[in-house]
Amino acid sequence: MEYWDVYDKNGKWRRKAIRRGTRLRRGEYHIISEGWILRDDGYFIIQRRALNKKSFAGMWYCSAGGSVISGETAKEGMVREFKEELGVNILESELRLKRIITEKNTIFHIFLVRKNISLEDITLQEEEVMDVDLATSDEIMDMIKKGTFIGLDYYDKFFKSVLNNRL
């Protein structure tokens, strides 16, 4: 049984946890961590969500992501998600927080990891992930237009900020 901590819209813990699947009330939020692995060759590692997922089944998505469970920080949750979904060990010190976005009852923490990971070094969690691949930011934006990649509002600014920091 998985539990989520409940936060206010400013990310302050409300000293409350709920069971996953319990509807959050107005003014209550939970945290989701999303992580992007960017290699030195300019390619992001992306994952394709398993067909049994309730939301966005079979769609391409960032490198890894998911809900932060009760007692975890956003960084700890991101490290766990990378390990669970891709079998990749990422250290908290390798995570760079790029954005925090509040949408509906969710606070998204968006992380970037600059690390050269080969697709051969990835072990998929088959219940969550059906495939991985490499893509540039332009290729990801094309996939969004084609409806094969989950399109979120922050991507354009995120990719521009990441690419500007590389130059």
The beta strand positions in the chain, using DSSP E, are 3-7, 13-19, 30-38, 44-49, 60-61, 64-67, 96-103, 106-114, 129-135
**Domain boundaries defined on the chain:** 3-166
How many Å apart are CA 57 and CA 42, to the nearest integer? 27
- Superfamily per CATH, domain 3-166: Nucleoside Triphosphate Pyrophosphohydrolase (3.90.79.10)
Supply the pLDDT for residue 166. 58
> Which residues does residue 35 pair with via DSSP β-bridges, in sequence order?
64, 111
- Entry pTM: 0.93
Supply the pLDDT for residue 165. 73
Tens of pLDDT along the chain (167 residues)?
899 999 999 999 999 999 998 999 999 999 999 999 999 999 999 999 999 988 899 999 999 999 999 999 999 999 999 999 999 999 999 999 999 999 899 999 999 999 999 999 999 999 999 999 999 999 999 999 999 999 888 888 899 888 877 54
Supply the pLDDT for residue 164. 78
How many Å apart are CA 51 and CA 57, to the nearest integer? 5
